């Protein structure tokens, strides 16, 4: 049965109706402040907006937020969009189960709960599920979220992390699984860390920083790995590993599954490249050994058989491979290749479950999953049943089965239990949808970028949408940090398509869709390739008569917020509207705040003259041109974003409002008690999406029905 369409509210809305009345923006004081880089004087008139939580900035934020809220609330169709979003969002969601010690652990959301609830049950038919943790009871407004959890080997304890208001900062506690009661263990000052239990279940490894007093702004450096013994106060935790000679290394520690080794991964930036160090707890001299120094490759220990480590790497294999390193003879000429690099697909990850390796590949952004034995001999494929994404395949060495899910742009995903011995997949759970996926079409296309590079593009729309050059189209991209954008379900994008729009996603260089070479083609001095790819996608959509510039909206978040802002600066006439979310907008100062220093591996070092010229050449904040007619633009950020410092968006939004040479609105939406995006309550997400689609839809002529 087809999902109902809401009643028509009005005729097509166009840019002319959006800019009928010139706007008077809240005042943003401009100063004459300048800074000199390599002999170049660079104006920074809104530097003062970096002083967050001071009265002048708090006042400015309050005025901008009130202005934005008043403007967005009056947009035609906004309430209808929020109603439709709420309606479609209200279906049960089930997380991937994780099996351990005869128990299954998973999250579940009844539909509109602000945070998903964590459950456990015995892994047997008819077992009754038990609530292990309900984050909705940790705050009245749903802004405290579960940020991670780890179960002890015997299934008796759970370590769990929580974050407040979307912050990356976490607090970790320990809970008894059977009773649901917390112990007295309480760990703080944690960020970018997991918790990993020792084999005995008596304690765990985690990473923490020294308190700075400026959690939203101060640089995150000098991370250290500690061991916490159950029952001890945090101040008694044992320092396991530190590198004062490399204060910018990000350190993560874990135990090998057999408990023999402590393995520390050291990352030099925000990318995937890292080094490995280990301690053999059975050795007489059990000090740490340098196995692999951080370089331009990534190394992930998948499992071990005694001193034989199985490592997933892109060393000498940009598309990825699996190798074995014997710690008794770790030299490169003794490495053994188990799963070689493929030229036709990128190896995304390898898991060790039971007595097999499960390798997940991307081939033209679509999944292939292969099963290998411990010697690297292929055993079988895991059939993929739709044009989408595969996730899961985790578990322990003792497992006899594992779980995975398949999702797509128009289906939230079914969960399957995979029998490791027989290779059979059995449906474990599927959602009950409030719409008909058969009403939509998903297809993959390819276009040539400016330099001739072949770039993938996905399109999603209703079957009855006319692709005659007038279709309101939303183009999304990211293009950075080795992150692959595979077909995944989001209610927000489905609602855009359900209203008669086209959702388009371009797999830009800078991502990991084709391995490390694809990533490196969009880094540092090659960042313009990413912008060219995105602009090329927009031009292809117009050339194919799917849409026109006046009907084309673009959007992206974080590194994608940088992408859309830079592209709009470079080609303002090409787009009918722009949404830039939590973006990195000041490319000369990104390294000054929180974890921004780690992005220098991706973007470059402003202290290097060549890097400075490149960064200055596309930095969104510095390339806003006075008098330019910019399209309607929505800049969004949050007051507790401690990953991308919110002043990036403050400064860029203020600069755009001052420079606007046309009548199109420049709206700066600032969310409160929210962060970079993770853990945001469902209610806040729906409000934000309704604002976004109402704004962009009005600009590019979306019929809100």
b/e 156-183 (16+ beta carbons within 10 angstroms → b): ebbbbbbbbbbbbbbbbbbbebeeeeee
Tokens standing for residue 600: 């220098």
Does residue 416 contact residue 426 with C-beta atoms inside 8 Å?
yes
674: three-class secondary structure by DSSP: coil
Closest alpha carbon to 114 in 682, 504, 699, 633: 682
Whether residue 314 contacts residue 297, with contact meaning beta carbons closer than 8 Å, is answered with: yes
Among residues 494, 690, 659, the alpha carbon closest in space to that of 572 is found at 659
d(CA 669, CA 69): 7
Give the list of residues 6+ apart from residue 299 with CB closer than 8 angstroms, or none. Answer: 265, 274, 275, 276, 292, 311, 312, 313, 315
Backbone angles phi, psi at 301, to 5 degrees: -75, 120
Contacts of 332 (CB under 8 A, 6+ apart): none
Residue ranges with strand state E in 101-143: 103-109, 117-122, 130-133
Q: Which of 591, 622, 648, 676 is catalytic?
A: 676
Alpha-carbon distance 368 to 383, whole Å? 8
Q: What are the structure tokens assigned to 152, written together?
A: 């002890």
What is the rounded CA–CA span in Å between residue 391 and residue 490? 15
291 phi and psi angles, rounded to 5 deg: -90, -50
> In 3-state terms, what secondary structure has residue 527?
helix
Question: In degrees, to the nearest 5, what angle opens at C-alpha 516 toward C-alphas 614 and 508?
Answer: 60
Q: Which two tokens stand for residue 474?
A: 């939303």
Phi/psi of residue 473, nearest 5 degrees? -125, 135
Residue 255 token pair: 């135990």
Angle at CA of residue 657, ends 656 and 663, nearest 5°: 105
Residues belonging to the chain: 705
The Cα 425–Cα 415 span in angstroms is 10
Residue pair 668/635 in contact by the 8 Å Cβ criterion: yes
Q: Which runs of consecutive H residues, i.e. helices, occur in 499-628?
A: 516-520, 527-543, 559-570, 600-603, 609-618
What's the chain's Rg over C-alpha atoms?
25
Six-digit token pair at 613?
């010229």
| Sign of the dihedral through C-alpha 211, 217, 221, 223 | positive
Contact (CB, 8 A) for 138 and 160: no
Residue 388 in contact with residue 411, Cβ under 8 Å? yes
Catalytic residue among 207, 256, 558, 580: 558
DSSP H helices, 571-605, are 600-603
**Cβ contact 261:279 at 8 Å:** yes
Burial of residue 212 (CB within 10 Å: 0-12, 13-18, 19+) is: middle
Q: Catalytic site residue 558?
A: yes
Token pair, residue 472, equals: 């309101």
Q: How are strands ordered across the β-sheet holding 552-557?
A: 440-448, 454-462, 502-506, 473-476, 552-557, 577-581, 633-638, 666-671
Active site members:
558, 676
């Amino acid at each position: 049965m087809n999902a109902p369409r809401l009643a028509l509210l009005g005729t097509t809305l166009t840019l002319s109706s959006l800019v009928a009345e010139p706007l008077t923006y809240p005042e943003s004081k401009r100063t004459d402040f300048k800074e000199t880089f390599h002999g170049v004087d660079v104006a920074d008139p809104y530097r003062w907006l970096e002083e967050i939580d001071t009265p002048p900035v708090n006042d400015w934020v309050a005025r901008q937020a009130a202005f934005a809220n008043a403007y967005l609330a009056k947009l035609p169709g906004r309430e209808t969009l929020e109603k439709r979003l709420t309606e479609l969002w209200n279906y049960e969601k089930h997380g991937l189960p994780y099996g351990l010690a005869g128990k299954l652990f998973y999250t579940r959301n009844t539909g509109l709960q602000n945070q998903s609830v964590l459950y456990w049950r015995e892994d047997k038919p008819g077992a009754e599920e038990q609530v292990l943790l309900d984050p909705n009871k940790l705050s009245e407004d749903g802004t405290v979220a579960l940020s991670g959890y780890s179960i002890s080997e015997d299934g008796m304890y759970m370590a769990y992390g929580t974050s407040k208001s979307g912050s990356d900062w976490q607090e970790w506690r320990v809970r008894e699984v059977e009773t649901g009661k917390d112990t007295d263990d309480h760990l703080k000052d944690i960020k970018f860390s997991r918790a990993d239990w020792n084999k005995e279940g008596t304690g765990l490894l985690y990473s923490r920083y020294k308190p700075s007093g400026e959690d939203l702004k101060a640089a995150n450096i000098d991370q250290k790995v500690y061991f916490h013994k159950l029952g001890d106060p945090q101040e008694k935790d044992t320092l396991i590993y530190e590198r004062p000679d490399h204060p910018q290394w990000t350190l993560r520690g874990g135990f090998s599954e057999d408990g023999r080794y402590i393995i520390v991964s050291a990352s030099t930036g925000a990318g995937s490249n890292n080094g490995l160090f280990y301690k053999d707890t059975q050795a007489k001299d059990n000090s740490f050994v340098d196995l692999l120094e951080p370089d331009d490759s990534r190394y992930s220990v998948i499992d071990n058989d005694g001193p034989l480590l199985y490592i997933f790497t892109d060393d000498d294999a940009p598309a990825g491979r699996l190798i074995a390193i014997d710690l008794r003879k770790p030299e490169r000429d003794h490495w053994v290749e188990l799963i070689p690099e493929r030229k036709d697909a990128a190896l995304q990850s390898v898991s060790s479950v039971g007595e097999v390796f499960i390798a997940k590949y991307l081939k033209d952004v679509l999944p292939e999953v292969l099963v290998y034995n411990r010697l690297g001999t292929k055993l079988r494929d895991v059939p993929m049943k739709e044009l989408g994404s595969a996730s899961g395949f985790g578990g322990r060495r003792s497992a006899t089965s594992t779980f995975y899910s398949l999702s797509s742009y128009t289906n939230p995903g079914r969960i399957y239990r995979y029998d490791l011995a027989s290779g059979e997949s059995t449906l474990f759970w599927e959602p009950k949808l409030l719409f008909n996926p058969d009403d939509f079409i998903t297809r993959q296309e390819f276009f040539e970028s400016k330099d001739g590079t072949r770039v993938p593009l996905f399109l999603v729309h209703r079957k009855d949408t006319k692709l005659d050059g007038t279709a309101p189209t939303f183009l999304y991209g990211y293009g950075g940090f080795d992150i692959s954008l595979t077909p995944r379900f989001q209610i927000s994008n489905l609602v855009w398509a359900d209203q008669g729009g086209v959702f388009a996603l371009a797999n830009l260089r800078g991502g990991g869709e084709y391995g490390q070479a694809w990533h490196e083609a969009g880094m540092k001095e090659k960042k313009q390739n990413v912008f060219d790819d995105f602009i090329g996608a927009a031009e292809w959509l117009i050339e194919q008569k799917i849409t026109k510039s006046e009907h084309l909206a673009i959007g992206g978040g974080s590194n994608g917020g940088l992408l859309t802002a830079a592209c709009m600066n470079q080609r303002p006439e090409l787009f009918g509207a722009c949404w830039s979310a939590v973006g990195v907008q000041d490319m000369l100062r990104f390294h000054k705040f929180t974890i921004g220093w780690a992005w220098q591996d991706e973007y470059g070092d402003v202290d290097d003259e060549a890097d400075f010229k490149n960064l200055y050449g596309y930095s969104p904040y510095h390339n806003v041109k006075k008098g330019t007619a910019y399209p309607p633009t929505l800049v969004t950020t949050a007051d507790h974003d401690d990953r991308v410092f919110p002043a990036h968006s403050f400064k860029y939004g203020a600069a755009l409002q001052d420079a606007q040479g046309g009548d199109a609105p420049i709206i700066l939406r600032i969310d409160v008690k929210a962060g970079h995006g993770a853990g945001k309550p469902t209610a806040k997400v729906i409000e934000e999406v309704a604002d976004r689609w109402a704004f962009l839809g009005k600009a590019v002529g979306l019929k809100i029905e």
